[in-house]
DNA sequence: CGGCATGAGTAAATCGATTTATCGAGCTTG
DNA sequence: CAAGCTCGATAAATCGATTTACTCATGCCG
């Protein structure tokens, strides 16, 4: 009668112990599968658990151990398909290992990124999967190092001398894009990139440039850099294409290094009345569901989201379980999805002038 | 010398107490802003906190109270813009109240939904924001009721006799769509809907039908229902339009009740070489960034994501703080974004009057 | 038979904070 | 001067589980 748990209070391990006529320690042993418990007692404990609907309180359970059964994930945003899928996959993997995933979005702010990390440190997470806003040199990664946290960096990152990194092989994918475009005869190509100092984005550009020039040294590559916001980018593109007005030789193909860039480029084409691939070819880094239904469908580099998530978690759990050795920098291959937006250069046969 | 925290161990409240020459209880009081502490001691405590870089362990701090400072959020998926934005906003709001948001995705499975809920119950979350897979009658909502959990239901939900609900006013938005289409002269309209028993989706259909028939009783409305998967839906649409082959009077407008439906409809148009709005008009429930850059831009109903999140959190915190009273069912108005995909019926350039 | 290993179980310490009950000092009041 | 009160501070209980250290049998062996 001393313990009544039928009201609001959830049953605790002591309620189970009382009902089974054993001590709390024994209950704990049964539930954690320690062998040194009499059959009879184990049965009584399990009966009591069943009857009371007892479930371990993960918070209390984690109290005693230095690292809790929680994995933190930090992504720049939840809104994109890429990070949405990423978080989903990370969540599954964490659960499979008996961990709870706590995800947070840095909203493209390094300050916030560090704050979140500090909070996760407060939570004594066992490990963190960090997709940094900029690159591996940000304050967040620094914080993780300074506090001896266990973590893995993904996506906008190439390698690090403390943490394992996993990302898409941007350079290789870009080289393949170069092969496709140059191979079809394009010699004037516009690359739309992010102004951010992300190592990955730089790799996308360099990979493309190197491969294109190797295939055809006379290839002329223009680069327009912009922030990720729609409006400034739109303005810069307008200026860029405006400058070609009247002159004959504008680019015959555009390679956008990031998703929103592809979106804005496409809408600029529409504004000018240009059609792919007749007037100009378009290919983008990063795929999205809508790209199949635009007219025409847009060719794209598909990032191996799932494989990145899987390798990141594998590396993280290895470190959590004490794996030593130098940090590994892993690159996952992308898939190039050619669609109707890419064709041979427009001006090859007849002069093609879009009106601006 | 007894306590050394400089190694790996984070400083605990006792380390702070030692350094400040007071007891742990006093430190706790200072940090929680209780007034009955001497100035001098408070200063010493704060100095020690500063010097040691002490931060409260939220897990330990939450141990004693029945409800922890955690809010759970469950959404069907992370990949869509809608739920991505939703989680982002919920996260901000939770943080503003000093709570941590733990988000999980049910991946459109009611079984998983219930599992997640059980886990959150284990975590003794203070409250849950649940966007159910189907509607308010699922096993998850039932579980919440059975366990006396505090929660708010959002999105695919109209009202509930236990929990507050917040969702977009689908019916009103659909009525407005009807006004736009019927007003432009459309009398044969195809509605593409989900087969799921979601109250909201039903409301979208009913709202549209009622309004359309009220405006023009001779309006003919066809309905194609499908699951959310792309392929079956594509097949059903192919069949539907195929049946009109040769016959003259196929629908002049399509209203899709969900985002992926809009996507598939558009790609079916493309396959048939139909162009919006000349050959057929298209408008969809739910907006996405890509809809501005398709050719033409697609008209859409914009859901008030942020407002839904805000009202949901407000209601939730009110309940957490003990607000009584009957559950409220709140509907947030949508915004209709007319774009180029909607025009007068094909072959009816002049008259906005129906044929009667 | 004494000594030692082994098996089964439990009391109590522990994790890091919060909260309750208590205590001592200083001050007022009858 | 004793009783009563206030203020500030603290020891100890508490939250719910895990783990350590210890007890008590029992069994085996020399």
CATH for A170-303+337-348 (3.50.50.100, 3.90.1150.10, 2.40.160.10, 3.40.50.2300): 3.40.50.2300
Instruction: Kindly report, residue by residue over B213-232, the tens digit of the pLDDT.
Output: 999 999 999 999 988 788 89
Question: A229 and chain B: CB distance < 8 Å anywhere?
Answer: no
Question: B245 and chain A: CB distance < 8 Å anywhere?
Answer: no
Are A345 and A277 in contact by the 8 Å Cβ rule? The answer is no
User: d(Cα B185, Cα B343) in Å, to the nearest integer?
Assistant: 9
For strand C, list residues 62-121 of chain B whose Cβ lies within 7 Å of it: 63-65
User: What was the pLDDT predicted at A82?
Assistant: 96
Are A329 and A162 in contact by the 8 Å Cβ rule? The answer is no
User: d(Cα A284, Cα B250) in Å, to the nearest integer?
Assistant: 37
- Paired tokens of A87: 């978080």
- Paired tokens of A54: 């007892």
β-pairing, A125-130 vs A151-154, is parallel
- Residue linked to tokens 């739910």: B286
Higher pLDDT, B187 or A293: B187
User: What was the pLDDT predicted at A24?
Assistant: 94
**DSSP states along B87-133:** HHHHHHHHHHTT-EEEEEE-TT-HHHHHHHHHHHHHTTEEEEEE--S
Q: Is the CB of B17 under 7 A from strand C?
A: no
Judged by CB atoms closer than 8 Å, whether chains meet at B266 and A293 is answered as: yes
- Paired tokens of A15: 């309620």
Across all strands, nucleotide nearest B17 (CA–C1'): D10
SS3 call for A348: helix
Percentage of chain A modeled with pLDDT above 70: 94
- Residue linked to tokens 């805000």: B310
Instruction: Kindly report, residue by residue over B91-120, the tens digit of the pLDDT.
Output: 999 999 999 999 999 998 999 999 999 999
User: What was the pLDDT predicted at A104?
Assistant: 97
Which numeric CATH code is attached to A67-167+305-332?
3.40.50.2300
Mean pLDDT of chain B: 91
Among residues B129, B159, B173, B145, which one has the least CA distance to residue B308?
B129
User: What was the pLDDT predicted at B160?
Assistant: 95
A100: closest CA of chain B, how far (Å): 9
B141: closest CA of chain A, how far (Å): 18
CATH for B13-56 (2.50.20.10, 3.40.50.300, 3.40.50.620, 1.10.260.40): 1.10.260.40
Are B130 and B151 in contact by the 8 Å Cβ rule? The answer is yes
| Range A135-144 average pLDDT | 93
Chain D bases near protein CB atoms (7 A cut-off): 7-12, 14-21
* B105 vs A9, A91, A289: nearest CB: A91
User: d(Cα B269, Cα A231) in Å, to the nearest integer?
Assistant: 30
Rounded, the Å distance between the CA of A195 and C1' of D4 is: 75
pLDDT grade for B347, boundaries at 50, 70 and 90: low
Percentage of chain B modeled with pLDDT above 70: 94
Chain C bases near protein CB atoms (7 A cut-off): 7-12, 14-20
Rounded, the Å distance between the CA of A25 and C1' of D22 is: 14
Percentage of chain A modeled with pLDDT above 90: 78
Q: Is the CB of B14 under 7 A from strand C?
A: yes
CATH 3.50.50.60 fits domain B66-167+305-333: no
Percentage of chain B modeled with pLDDT above 90: 78
Mean pLDDT of chain A: 91
User: d(Cα A109, Cα A64) in Å, to the nearest integer?
Assistant: 34
User: What was the pLDDT predicted at B356?
Assistant: 31
What residue ranges do the domains of chain B occupy? Answer: 13-56, 66-167+305-333, 170-303
Judged by CB atoms closer than 8 Å, whether chains meet at B267 and A293 is answered as: yes
Among residues A293, A202, A332, A238, which one has the least CA distance to residue B268?
A293
What residues pair up with A101 in beta bridges, in sequence order? Answer: A71
- Topology match between the domains B13-56 and B66-167+305-333: no
Rounded, the Å distance between the CA of A61 and C1' of D16 is: 7
Among residues A284, A270, A278, which one has the least CA distance to residue A356?
A270
Across all strands, nucleotide nearest B65 (CA–C1'): D15
Based on the number of CB atoms within 10 Å of its own CB, is A69 exposed (0-12), middle (13-18) or buried (19 or more)? middle
A181: closest CA of chain B, how far (Å): 23
Are B68 and B62 in contact by the 8 Å Cβ rule? The answer is yes
DSSP B168: E
- Paired tokens of A266: 């496409």
B270: closest CA of chain A, how far (Å): 7
User: d(Cα A93, Cα A316) in Å, to the nearest integer?
Assistant: 11
Instruction: Kindly report, residue by residue over B165-183, the tens digit of the pLDDT.
Output: 999 999 999 999 999 999 9
A289: closest CA of chain B, how far (Å): 8
> If you count residue pairs, one on A and one on B, with CB atoms under 8 Å apart, how many are there?
118
Residues of A in contact with B292 (CB under 8 A): 267
- Crossing angle of helices A13-20 and A24-31, in 10° steps, is 100
Test mutation, B295, B297, B305, B340, chain A, max A CBs within 10 A: B295
User: d(Cα B184, Cα B353) in Å, to the nearest integer?
Assistant: 8
Question: pLDDT at residue B3 above 70?
Answer: no
User: d(Cα B318, Cα A14) in Å, to the nearest integer?
Assistant: 33
Instruction: Kindly report, residue by residue over A186-244, the tens digit of the pLDDT.
Output: 999 999 998 777 788 889 999 999 999 999 999 999 999 988 788 899 999 999 998 88
| Range B267-291 average pLDDT | 92
DSSP A59: H
Q: Is the CB of A159 under 7 A from strand D?
A: no
Residues of A in contact with B63 (CB under 8 A): 59-60, 63
Based on the number of CB atoms within 10 Å of its own CB, is A282 exposed (0-12), middle (13-18) or buried (19 or more)? buried
User: d(Cα B153, Cα B258) in Å, to the nearest integer?
Assistant: 20
Which numeric CATH code is attached to B170-303?
3.40.50.2300
User: d(Cα B68, Cα B32) in Å, to the nearest integer?
Assistant: 16
Question: A55 and chain B: CB distance < 8 Å anywhere?
Answer: yes
């Amino acid at each position: 009668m001393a313990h009544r748990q039928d009201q609001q209070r959830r049953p605790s391990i002591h309620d189970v112990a009382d009902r089974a006529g054993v001590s709390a320690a024994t209950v704990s042993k049964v539930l954690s599968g320690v062998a040194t418990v009499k059959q009879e007692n184990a049965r009584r404990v399990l009966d009591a658990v069943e009857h009371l609907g007892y479930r371990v309180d993960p918070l209390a359970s984690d109290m005693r151990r230095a690292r809790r059964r929680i994995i933190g994930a930090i992504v720049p945003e939840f809104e994109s398909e890429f990070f949405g899928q990423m978080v989903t996959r990370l969540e599954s993997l964490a659960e499979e290992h008996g961990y709870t995933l706590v995800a947070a979005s840095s909203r493209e702010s390094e300050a916030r990124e560090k704050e979140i990390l500090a909070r996760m440190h407060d939570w004594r997470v066992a490990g963190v999967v960090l997709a940094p806003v900029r690159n591996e040199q940000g304050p967040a990664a620094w914080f993780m190092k300074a506090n001896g946290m266990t973590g893995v960096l993904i996506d906008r990152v190439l390698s690090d001398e403390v943490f394992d990194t996993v990302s898409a092989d941007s350079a290789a994918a870009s080289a393949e894009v170069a092969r496709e475009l140059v191979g079809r005869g394009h010699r004037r190509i516009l690359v739309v990139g992010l102004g951010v100092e992300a190592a990955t984005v730089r790799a996308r550009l360099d990979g493309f440039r190197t491969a294109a020039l190797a295939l055809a040294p006379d290839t002329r590559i223009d680069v327009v850099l912009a922030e990720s916001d729609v409006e400034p980018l739109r303005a810069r593109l307008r200026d860029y294409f405006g400058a070609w007005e009247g002159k004959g030789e504008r680019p015959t193909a555009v390679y956008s290094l990031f998703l929103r860039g592809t979106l804005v480029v496409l809408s600029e084409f529409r504004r000018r009345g240009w059609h792919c691939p007749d007037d100009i070819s378009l290919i983008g880094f990063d795929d999205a569901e809508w790209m199949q239904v635009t007219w025409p469908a847009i060719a794209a580099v598909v990032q191996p989201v799932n494989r990145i998530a899987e390798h990141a978690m594998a590396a993280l759990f290895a470190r959590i379980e004490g794996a030593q050795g130098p940090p590994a920098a892993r690159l996952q291959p992308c898939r190039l999805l050619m669609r109707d937006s890419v064709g041979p250069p427009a001006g090859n046969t007849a002069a093609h002038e879009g009106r601006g």
